[in-house]
Amino acid sequence: MSELHDLHAVVTGGGSGIGAAVARELLLRGARVTLMGRDLARLQAQRARLAEQGPVAEQRCDVADEASVQTAFAAAVADFGAIDILVNNAGQAQTAPFVKTSLAQWQQMLQVNLTGTFLCTQQVVAGMAERGFGRIVNVASTASLKGYAYVAAYCAAKHGVLGLTRALALEMAKKGVTVNAVCPGYTETEIVEQAVANIVAKTGRSAEAARQELAAGNPQGRLVQPEEVAHTVAWLASRGASAMTGQAIAVCGGEWS
């Protein structure tokens, strides 16, 4: 498979979970991939695991810090050339009842999930427009489409990501640049493991019971797998998806329709 041949993709939050699965899928389809994240050791380990699939590099990047983003993206361009595909996957989720959500928690959720998407996108969108080609895929979660109790700040941030996606898609519509969102339901990632741990700590249920509770929200009765999200991202990143822009594609087993 070489449909992404000669394209350079950046995947934020690329050290594990959905980001790692996306990176692998893009490599298999012929792209050069730069992994970004805050944990350099994790990125290096992931790079080693993916090296046989194709050209892959890593850059430490805190998406919530403008200087860090600028440095990382400049280094990525120096390594592999202009960036053709950006997958904004980096994110965090913290749980708390709304009345106990602190301003610091609120700001952290907005900074990482929304402002991080903004900062990273700013690094690539002008160049994409100048070259007449680009693919931006934002991993936005079903929390961008509906509400979930006890994660008001996270939902607000992800709703913001979807609004940004739709607005930028219109700005870029005639420039060869598409901007879409992929909205996974509960997926087998560290965020879900943290959610399971919180349920266990607060309710005394077993980890398996907690996982079943999360899976019950999916009409298929299971957790989404990272590879399933990655296939959708890779399609949106392809040259053939040129008519897809401003869309929010839910990968959630029918939880949202």
* Residue 211, pLDDT above cutoff 90: no
pLDDT at 203: 87
pLDDT per residue over 42-96, tens digit each?
A: 999 999 999 999 999 999 999 999 999 999 999 999 999 999 999 999 999 999 9
Helix and strand counts by DSSP (H, E) for the chain:
9, 7
Structural domains in the chain, CATH included, are 8-188+224-251 (3.40.50.720)
- For the ranges 137-141, 200-204, 243-247, the lowest mean pLDDT is seen at 200-204
Average pLDDT value for residue range 9-38 = 97
Residue 88 main-chain phi, psi, to 5 deg: -85, 90
Cα–Cα dist 153/96, whole Å:
9
Tokens of 33: 């991939």
Cα–Cα dist 198/21, whole Å:
25
Q: In what order do the strands lie in the sheet with 8-12?
A: 56-60, 32-37, 8-12, 85-88, 134-139, 177-184, 248-251
E-state strands within 2-76: 8-12, 32-37, 56-60
What SS3 state is found at 177? strand
pLDDT at 112: 97
Cα–Cα dist 14/6, whole Å:
20
Q: Which residues of 7-43 are buried (b: 16+ CB within 10 A; e: fewer)?
A: bbbbbbbbbbbbbbbbbbbbbbbebbbbbbbbeeebb
Share of the chain above pLDDT 70, in %: 100
pTM, to two decimals: 0.94
Q: Is 154 a catalytic residue?
A: yes
Q: What's at 234, amino acid-wise?
A: A
- For the ranges 58-62, 152-156, 184-188, 210-214, the lowest mean pLDDT is seen at 210-214
Q: Which residue has the tokens 């299971």?
A: 222
Average pLDDT value for residue range 205-218 = 88
For residue 207, count other CB atoms closer than 10 A to its CB. Answer: 12
